[in-house]
Structure 1
């Protein structure tokens, strides 16, 4: 159909308008581009020339703040402190020797340190910053910042470093952090990139190492513009890292502090467990050390001193130490015999001071013997012959099975380093270990916690807790992570006849409160806190027949490292147990004289939630205890607890 002249004219007008509009838009775009080009070429020419000559965008990782570790009341026992440091990146530095020489005018650095720094920088990746110095003074830090144009590749940084405000109180359980080494990286399959930062600190031992991942947090990042000299021009964007988790432990900082001071300069260990939930409220190894020295870089002199100390301050005796438990093991042998039905609580054995087995004489600690004794009296007076006789009837396999039931010969799962399993020996164990048959003499030695039997202070505390409750008390150290309370399992019943447990507890009560109790002098006289316990003394040397004939040399006449270990386990209150305690004093001598008073004092502090009234002590002990307290520097109560008490 042909269009009319009118329609053709209308169509022409529409096309002309559209062409005009398109032309206007094109002109506007061209004008804008022209103005932008003019601006770039004339007004901002210098800026863009600088960028083209070497400016670039770099991504820098931001290390996250390490998570805090708290005690059960919220007291910080591992925190972070401000740290001024400086790093150097080879890619941006140019001539490293020149830059290091300039740095030496600001930061004290001898020739050897400068040479080692240059070697380390060249060994590392060109893009990896290398730590030059940390813990700078504010003057040193500000001087480096002011001289930044002359120090290409050098970056002054303000960050956080680990600190331990309670120093040695928690040194073994918390451990410490340190710089990430090549060895550390070799143990990790896919290391987090943040681990390669020069200032980053990694958990080395203890809880710091075992809880490394939740404590580490997540790295942040920042985009920065740097020029050809490596100097940062400006920060383009920043994404902060995520701080590590806050871990609340089961420990009480004040009780831990008291336990550490009560152990004093002894080579010793103490463990306190809340028997109702398994919380370890104190776990102290003595002597301690200052973990802050490791964070800051311990000197060779300080490290050598720690390594050569005869009390082994770097060893955690609470979980790594494995000791013959001595007579503290007698509850295990007794319960094994009672449960096997070879004796009952009234069964008696006669103790003349020794027994003769296979031509060998096994002595009781009491040369004159104890006469006829039953189960309770055997514990009260710690009669060895009773257990020699019992061991021959019950056999080592049943004793070993009961030991494992009570927590000895079992590795307890805690976030601590090198936890020992101890040894609860039986026939199969000796054959596998020594390719030898078990002998009756082995059973006799094991019955009183000597021979092959080994237990840690942690295991002895667990044993005491299980005797006290009849439950499979499982120790724990972590109470909450980021406010999420960790569940407490319902402890299974040990399945031991309640009468047999009452017999063992009755014997432990008699140790403390009986007229012939071996630890009567260390008893608690406050009836509401009545304590049950058991002493132990384990030999670390053989006593020959000739020495017995002449007279056994007393501990105080022997060199320190040949003296007996002193041990003690206990729980209280007797009727409704709350805490179980174990104490081991290496080469301390007698358990009743050395370990028992320490355990009693620590137990009383736990029960009273602070220093107990002097009336809880026997009359003859009060003046000595008061004098001891006057020499201590104890932690004050946390503010939160004081506020709750006032409310």
Structure 2
């Protein structure tokens, strides 16, 4: 049936309204889309461009060149040398073992090192390069490049590696670097992202460790394009980092090398201080170790040799080792008594060979005794009973106070590993640490540097420097950083009466130069080079009454580890002091026989800034000294070779 015209009209009007509504909605949606497109393409274009870049571009760190370390004369002690290495990318190599087998036919590689590299390859992502071997020769690199088609995934690279031209003589001072370990990350509060780079090297010991942030520098960056898997496609640009600061030490490499050679064959330590500014000219521990062994990855054999050596080459005896100072401590007791007014320089104390204190007998080293002793004679002949007596008058607290004033029992702030505090004990210390009352016998023992008193060669060198100058000499190891000089270590006046110090110095001069001085055989005879010093013998075992009755066993008849430590301290020239020296020879026997000759030779080497003339030695010693100088000069020649190479 045909629809009426009225119905048709209504239908058309309805369709028109719907069309308008739908059309309007479509226009609104299109407008909203257009507005959003404009917003994203124009107003937010930079933001989305950055997001897109981040999806395909990574920023990677570039390790900076490590700062160099020099001695006071510009000799390089730690440098960066060009290092050829070979790396492998597992995903490019395919069959890793097959490729490595081919590589080992071309280049002579350590199988143990290759095995460790394979473990590293399997731990890392397949696209991360892993070092197979480093310190290759240029000829090896050329062979690898020639055979590149047969070595998929293998690439030869050039980088920087730490090297120590002087090796063992500076091992304890400069230290060495090594890869960052989990232990390192756990114990240091350092958020530098460089530490997250695989095998990034940081200082492990010595100056390398203590000045790590200064030497490390700041990282550079490079922008690289990567695919969806994170694989590097190409490098877009780079910004090099900031090289670490160069550091100059106060150490004299020639003198340090001489000291190390002079201590050869002994378990010993020596320190030389420049009295003008507190500069440490030499800090030696014998035997030492070659730090290059650790940088390259020390072998099991080398590590075993170092650990099993009874002379402990890894121990920095000059600053870390602490020992009873023996009679070298007598100047401390004497100064405390004189400054405290409990004895005058000319007052005498009778030495019968022993002193009885509340039923305990304390013996002098000279069994028959020294007779009447005044201050000068007690130091010159090293009488023990004199100090047993005056120490009871002044008391331990005053002795400890003087010891600390002279630099004993405190930790000197040096950028070296494990610098010892030492110990200048007093009543409060024993009550706090041991929970016991201080006894008179403790004071008597301490008065001659035994008992609880502990010092390092560094402490004794500082003590001697302060006695020689009357100033608070502070040891300085860093001369400058990036060319900027560090403060002098000369220090302020100690506040000790100068007349008192003069008497102590005169007595120390007699120790070396008087006919009855304990170190006369080690005197210096050159005009203007006269030396003042003090011997010390530190007992390491208890001598029983039975042994004293039958005669004390000589050190020569004892096993090495039961012999006394030998010590000697000195300053020179005695009239115008320039250097202070302290030497300890572990289980060396007597200070006058084992330590004093070494200290004398080191002192002369410092005074002459090189090999001294034979005329500086007593005539009886010149033949032996000539042979010794000839042997040591060959070792010192390596210093000039290092400078020429640099």
Calculate the TM-score normalised by the size of structure 2: 0.86
State the Cα deviation string for residues 362-407 of structure 1 (Å, max 9, x = none): 1101111111010011000000000000111110111111111111
Aligned to 1:354: 354
1:435 shift after superposition: 1.0
1:615 shift after superposition: 1.2
In structure 1, distance between residues paired with 2:374 and 2:271: 30
Aligned to 1:411: 411
Structure 2 regions of 5+ residues with no counterpart? 1-54
Aligned to 1:389: 389
Distance 1:642 1:195, change over 3 A: closer
Aligned to 1:98: 95
Aligned to 1:9: none
Distance 1:148 1:63, change over 3 A: farther
Aligned to 2:588: 588
In structure 1, distance between residues paired with 2:141 and 2:513: 65
State the Cα deviation string for residues 543-595 of structure 1 (Å, max 9, x = none): 00000011100000000010000000000111111100000000001100110
Q: How does 1:128-527 map to 2 (within 5 A)?
A: 129-142=129-142, 144-145=144-145, 155-224=155-224, 235-488=235-488, 491-527=491-527
State the Cα deviation string for residues 144-183 of structure 1 (Å, max 9, x = none): 5566677776553211111111111101111111111121
In structure 2, distance between residues paired with 1:98 and 1:113: 19
Aligned to 1:63: 63
In structure 1, distance between residues paired with 2:603 and 2:576: 14
8 Å CA contact 2:177, 2:295 repeated in 1: yes
Deviates more, 1:291-300 or 1:117-126: 117-126
1:634 shift after superposition: 3.7
User: Match of 1:450, SS?
Assistant: coil
Distance 1:625 1:405, change over 3 A: same
Distance 1:79 1:428, change over 3 A: same
The reply to whether residue 542 of structure 1 matches residue 542 of structure 2 is yes
In structure 1, distance between residues paired with 2:363 and 2:479: 47
1:113 shift after superposition: 5.8
Structure 1 regions of 5+ residues with no counterpart? 1-54
In structure 1, distance between residues paired with 2:128 and 2:411: 41
Aligned to 1:635: 636
In structure 1, distance between residues paired with 2:317 and 2:272: 14
Aligned to 1:44: none
In structure 2, distance between residues paired with 1:191 and 1:453: 41
Deviates more, 1:126-135 or 1:350-359: 126-135
User: Match of 2:290, SS?
Assistant: coil
In structure 1, distance between residues paired with 2:638 and 2:309: 33
State the Cα deviation string for residues 215-245 of structure 1 (Å, max 9, x = none): 1112223344578999876543232222211
1:82 shift after superposition: 1.4
1:119 shift after superposition: 3.9
State the Cα deviation string for residues 401-449 of structure 1 (Å, max 9, x = none): 1111111100000000011101111111111121111111111110000
8 Å CA contact 2:178, 2:202 repeated in 1: yes
User: Match of 1:593, SS?
Assistant: helix
Aligned to 1:39: none
Deviates more, 1:446-455 or 1:628-637: 628-637
In structure 2, distance between residues paired with 1:74 and 1:507: 39
In structure 2, distance between residues paired with 1:370 and 1:190: 61
Q: CA RMSD in A?
A: 2.6
In structure 2, distance between residues paired with 1:530 and 1:629: 20
Counting matched residue pairs gives 586
In structure 2, distance between residues paired with 1:142 and 1:195: 32
1:101 shift after superposition: 3.6
User: Match of 1:302, SS?
Assistant: helix
In structure 1, distance between residues paired with 2:394 and 2:357: 16
In structure 2, distance between residues paired with 1:112 and 1:208: 28
In structure 2, distance between residues paired with 1:220 and 1:518: 62
Distance 1:109 1:163, change over 3 A: closer
Distance 1:384 1:312, change over 3 A: same
State the Cα deviation string for residues 238-293 of structure 1 (Å, max 9, x = none): 32222211100001011001111111110000000001100000010000111111
8 Å CA contact 1:461, 1:569 repeated in 2: yes
8 Å CA contact 2:114, 2:132 repeated in 1: no
8 Å CA contact 2:458, 2:582 repeated in 1: yes
8 Å CA contact 2:168, 2:288 repeated in 1: yes
Distance 1:359 1:170, change over 3 A: same
8 Å CA contact 1:330, 1:449 repeated in 2: yes
In structure 2, distance between residues paired with 1:119 and 1:245: 35
Aligned to 1:16: none
State the Cα deviation string for residues 22-60 of structure 1 (Å, max 9, x = none): xxxxxxxxxxxxxxxxxxxxxxxxxxxxxxxxx965544
In structure 1, distance between residues paired with 2:213 and 2:200: 13
State the Cα deviation string for residues 319-377 of structure 1 (Å, max 9, x = none): 11000000000000000000111011111100011111111111101111111010011
The reply to whether residue 601 of structure 1 matches residue 619 of structure 2 is no
In structure 1, distance between residues paired with 2:123 and 2:184: 17
Calculate the TM-score normalised by the size of structure 1: 0.86
Distance 1:522 1:112, change over 3 A: closer
User: Match of 2:61, SS?
Assistant: strand
Aligned to 2:13: none
